[in-house]
Amino acid sequence: MEENRHPLEVRDLYLRFGGLKALDGVSFHVKDGEILSIIGPNGAGKTCLMNCISGFYKPQQGEIVFEGKQITRMPPYKIAKLGISRTFQNIELYTGLSSLDNLMAARHIHMKRGALSACLFFGLTRREEIEHRKVVEDIIDLLELEPIRKKLVALLPYGQRKRVELGRALAAEPRLILLDEPMTGMNVEEKEDMARFVLDISELKGIPIILVEHDMEVVMDISDRVMVLDFGHKLLEGLPQDVKDNPEVIRAYLGAGEEEEE
């Protein structure tokens, strides 16, 4: 069975907003344990694709299959429960909670004690809290978040927030992570850190990662495969080296003129 061998299969996805075709028949798959980068000019439909996978947008046609299950029109919280976790282009953290609590909140799908037991707290709920705290502390350790563990997210600088968001995505113990521009707006050092974290996660957890990113250097360095979108079409998919040298990609990015060719 060729079909269900891959963790994520996207087939013939069409997403329209009125007359605008945001996604125009996009198909691709993600292999086990790989880092797949999606690149493309602004407005190419990268984030739309992410939103379709995590359930915000309901595509008009096509299907998304995660580990053999149809998730095409599922509500986002159910998709999260199945094991897809993500970060956002513009950080969407719980600003009123500390970094630690943001990560603990991501354990939501794994915690079982209800409200009544929570009110009594001592005993069952406390034991569960501590169990999950251990998992979260491992992630804090991995992403080097120790110094900001108890700080309110609202008070953190941008780069650290991005890292907390990555931590939150990881704390849900996903089997597929979507990273929507994790390195935008960072300086070189922060970018290097983030790239290192992404590689660490990929290596340690062995989970597939879909990365949307504009920084070509990073993309070419860390991804196993690259997919190029342009105006909702899939332009190309292949190894980073092949994509980099492809004339079509260069045209999509830089325009059709000859003067760009050096």
Chain residues binding other proteins by CB under 8 A are 54-56, 75-77, 80-81, 85-86, 88, 92-97, 101, 104-109, 111, 113-115, 117-121, 125-126, 128-130, 133-134, 137, 150, 168, 172
Instruction: Report CA Rg, the chain.
Output: 19
Question: Which of residues 118 and 220 has its CB atom nearest to other proteins in the complex?
Answer: 118
Residue entry with tokens 């995660």:
66
> What is the closest distance, in whole angstroms, from the C-beta atom of residue 148 to other proteins in the complex?
14
The smaller minimum CB distance to other proteins, of residues 54 and 223, is found at: 54
Cα angle 55-60-66, degrees, rounded to a multiple of 5: 40
Q: Find the shortest distance in angstroms from Cβ 9 to other proteins.
A: 21
Closest CA to 248 of 90, 12, 39, 91: 39
For other proteins, give the closer residue by CB, 117 or 246: 117
Amino acid (1-letter code) at residue 16: R
Nearest residue (CB) to other proteins, 123 versus 255: 123
Q: Is 257 left (phi over 0), alpha (psi -120 to 50) or beta?
A: beta
Min dist CB 96 to other proteins, Å, is 5
Q: How far is the CB of 12 from other proteins (least distance, A)?
A: 24
Closer residue to other proteins, CB minimum distance, 80 or 219: 80
CA distance 192 to 197: 9
Q: How far is the CB of 103 from other proteins (least distance, A)?
A: 10
Task: Kindly tell me which of 116 and 256 has the beta carbon lying closer to other proteins.
Answer: 116
CA 135 to chain centre: 20
Question: How far apart are alpha carbons 103 and 100 in whole angstroms?
Answer: 5
Nearer to other proteins, 164 or 226 (CB): 164
Least Å from the CB of residue 171 to other proteins: 9
The rounded distance, in Å, linking the Cα atoms of 113 and 126 is 10
- The minimum distance between CB 123 and other proteins, in angstroms, equals 11
Q: CA torsion angle for 207, 212, 214, 218 (degrees, to 10)?
A: 0
Rounded to a whole number of angstroms, the distance between the first and last alpha carbons of the chain is 45
Q: Tell me which residue has tokens 């079509």.
A: 248
